[in-house]
Amino acid sequence: MSLELPALVYKDGGDQQRQGGTYSYLLVSTEAELQAALKAGWFEGLLEAIAGGTKDEEPIKPVDSVAVEEDRADNAVVTREELEQKATELGVRFHPQIGDANLLKKIEEAIALL
């Protein structure tokens, strides 16, 4: 599967509900982040993650977000579309005219509560 960046990668188990279990997702914005995530046990698709993550295996370690940030060569800016997508996924309510900085703050607050 070839992903268009930025993209989400997945792993079985986590705080997101799905039929029959849970999963986790991580936003990757660069090829370096994608490769680091895949090496750390994340998958390009949710079905692939569910099939690849069995309960008998050692738990998959999450990507070290600090290391991923250091790997970012271009310091890509998160787009408005990405902010709105993440806010919707987290159930964060927002007015369409909210500024990007304020929306990001609401997203960070929601993530801190997870």
- The pLDDT of residue 82 is 87
**Same-domain pairing of 16 and 64:** yes
**Same-domain pairing of 98 and 55:** no
**Same-domain pairing of 68 and 94:** no
Q: What is the DSSP letter of 57?
A: S
pTM as predicted: 0.46
Q: CA 32, 61, 63 angle in degrees (round to 5)?
A: 25
**Same-domain pairing of 5 and 43:** yes
Whether the CB-CB separation of 92 and 106 falls below 8 Å is answered with yes
pLDDT digits (tens, 9 = 90+) for 7-18: 999 999 888 888
**Same-domain pairing of 8 and 62:** yes
pLDDT digits (tens, 9 = 90+) for 26-72: 999 998 999 999 999 999 988 888 887 544 445 445 555 445 455 55
**Same-domain pairing of 62 and 91:** no
**Same-domain pairing of 55 and 42:** yes
Number of domains in the chain: 2
**Same-domain pairing of 29 and 84:** no
Token code pair at residue 109: 């607050």
**Same-domain pairing of 60 and 84:** no
Domain of 56 in residue numbering reads as 1-76
**Same-domain pairing of 70 and 81:** no
Please tell me the distance from the alpha carbon of residue 114 to that of residue 109, in angstroms, as a whole number.
9
**Same-domain pairing of 17 and 54:** yes
Q: When comparing pLDDT for 111 and 25, which is higher?
A: 25
Whether the CB-CB separation of 41 and 61 falls below 8 Å is answered with yes
**Same-domain pairing of 70 and 24:** yes
